[in-house]
Amino acid sequence: PPHPTPGYIRTLREALGMTQAQMAERIGVSKMTVARWECGKMSPGDEAVAALEKLRKARARRGVVIAA
Is residue 4 within 8 A of residue 49, CB to CB? The reply is: yes
- pTM given for the model: 0.82
Task: Give the type of residue at 43.
Answer: S
| Residue-wise pLDDT tens digits, 7-60 | 999 999 998 999 999 999 999 999 999 999 999 999 999 999 999 999 888 877
**Which residues, including other chains, have CB under 8 Å from residue 51's CB and lie 6 or more apart?**
26, 27, 28
